[in-house]
């Protein structure tokens, strides 16, 4: 018999879901900065070393489907323990790597274990939260903190203690958090069972299929926008704002951190809008605003580029609460983690395509700016397709009811 989440249990779930979101994004983004130091120490070309993350980034997407399936059928909390322990151990392994093959193995492991978070952690949070939009907005802030702090943590630890410490210290902290969650599960503070489901009316079969297909288009395009921007922004800043960031790795990392740090705080606004207004217009409007921002970024430089990049990241992150709530609305309750698994197979599985896109644009044009014109076109595709979504107001958000 499933039990509904008690208030204290919901707080614990929210805490570990949020910390897990931050850790996942930190450990999957910090290599973009650490690699700059490895390049100098090992004397290997950047193009070779950056490719070591390709398989890990691919597994971060492909692993989401089996992770979501296990989250539905085994234990959401248990899968989160595996997430923390696995990512942390692989990060520590990277810190002791003596050659590219060993480093590749560790990075691949980070990507595989990181695939657990989004299908399991988001569904875990959505199903336990009293106000889904607010919970997703706050959780989104922690994800942005992870992305933002990746540059600072990696740059700071590398400059102070070397690139190996930049892997080992965050890895050890991640393992410690996993052990803390394990203790909470053993003490019964968090129920050791699959994520609780909300009972109530679902979307009709036709609307559910149509909504899921349209959201899939949005997830492909949105995933490309997010992944390509995250990968390209450090290089873009190096090209366009060197007079502000300076010539060091830390300066570029700090600018990236500022962009994602400010934008992350605005995800609460996106969650508030998703709770208060109809999801469809919120989703469509947020992507419509991204079209001119991405187009303007292509020709911007200096301080205007920092402002535009911050707005780009803000609206990209603000779309997630509405998108996740729409996905929840247009997926069967008993397969919700699996539905989120499909989403993140797409969103993160598209990462190698995004990396290839960044590489090709830079190779063909000699700079990154043109990339953002392509991304503006993808935002337009999401805006137009989003107008075809079924009206989610016909399937109101159900409230949890006591199990019989």
Residue 47 or residue 186, greater confidence: 186
Q: Over 90: is that where the pLDDT of 91 sits?
A: yes
State which of 71-80, 279-288, 343-352 shows the largest mean pLDDT: 279-288
User: Is the pLDDT score of 104 beyond 70?
Assistant: yes
Q: What does the alpha-carbon distance between residue 182 and residue 315 come to, in Å, rounded to a whole number?
A: 35
% of residues, the chain, pLDDT over 90:
20
Query: What pLDDT score was predicted for residue 191?
Result: 65
Query: 257: which residues sit within 8 A by CB, 6+ positions away?
Result: 148, 149, 150, 151, 152
Higher pLDDT pick, 137 / 195: 137
- When mean pLDDT is compared across 129-133, 176-180, 362-366, the lowest value belongs to 129-133
Residue whose C-alpha is closest to residue 279's, from 94, 176, 133, 173: 133
Quote the pTM value. 0.69
Evaluate if residue 197 carries a pLDDT over 60: no
Residue 110 confidence class, pLDDT cut points 50, 70, 90: very high
Least trusted range by pLDDT, from 261-275, 291-305, 371-385: 261-275
pLDDT at 404 > cutoff 50: no
pLDDT greater than 60 at residue 257? yes
- Pick 7-394's CATH classification: 3.20.20.30, 1.20.120.80, 1.20.1250.20, 2.120.10.30: 1.20.1250.20
């Amino acid at each position: 018999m499933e039990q509904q989440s008690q208030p204290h249990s919901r707080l614990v779930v929210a805490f570990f879901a949020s910390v897990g979101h931050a850790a996942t994004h930190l450990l999957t983004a910090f290599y973009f900065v650490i690699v700059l130091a490895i390049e100098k120490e090992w004397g290997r070309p950047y193009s070779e070393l950056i490719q070591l993350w390709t398989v890990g980034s691919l597994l971060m997407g492909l692993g989401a489907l089996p992770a979501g399936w296990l989250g539905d059928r085994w234990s959401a909390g248990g899968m989160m323990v595996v997430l923390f322990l696995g990512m942390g151990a692989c990060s520590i392994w990277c810190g002791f790597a003596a050659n590219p093959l060993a480093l590749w193995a560790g990075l691949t492991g980070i990507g595989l274990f990181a695939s657990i978070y989004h299908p399991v952690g988001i569904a875990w949070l959505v199903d336990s939260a009293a106000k889904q939009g607010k919970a997703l907005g706050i959780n989104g802030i922690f994800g942005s903190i992870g992305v933002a702090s990746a540059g600072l943590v990696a740059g700071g630890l590398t400059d102070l203690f070397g690139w190996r410490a930049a892997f080992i210290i965050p890895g050890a902290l991640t393992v410690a958090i996993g052990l803390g969650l394990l203790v909470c599960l053993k003490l019964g503070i968090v129920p050791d069972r699959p994520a609780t489901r909300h009972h109530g009316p679902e979307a009709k079969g036709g609307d559910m299929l149509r909504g899921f297909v349209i959201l899939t288009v949005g997830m492909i395009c949105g995933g490309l926008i997010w992944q390509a921007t995250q990968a390209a922004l450090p290089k873009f800043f190096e090209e366009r704002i060197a007079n502000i960031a300076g010539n060091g790795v830390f300066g570029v990392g700090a600018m990236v951190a500022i962009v994602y740090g400010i934008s992350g705080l605005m995800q609460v606004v996106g969650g508030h809008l998703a709770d208060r207004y109809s999801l469809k217009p919120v989703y469509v409007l947020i992507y419509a605003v991204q079209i001119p921002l991405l187009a303007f970024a292509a020709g911007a430089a200096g301080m205007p580029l920092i402002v535009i990049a911050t707005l780009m990241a803000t609206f990209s992150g603000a779309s997630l609460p509405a998108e996740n709530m729409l996905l929840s609305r247009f997926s069967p309750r008993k397969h919700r983690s699996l539905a989120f698994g499909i989403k993140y197979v797409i969103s993160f599985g598209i990462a190698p395509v995004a990396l290839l896109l960044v590489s090709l644009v830079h190779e063909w044009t000699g700079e990154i700016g043109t990339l953002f014109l392509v991304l503006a076109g993808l935002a337009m595709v999401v805006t137009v397709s989003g107008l075809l979504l079924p009206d989610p107001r016909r399937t109101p958000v159900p409230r949890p009811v006591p199990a019989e």
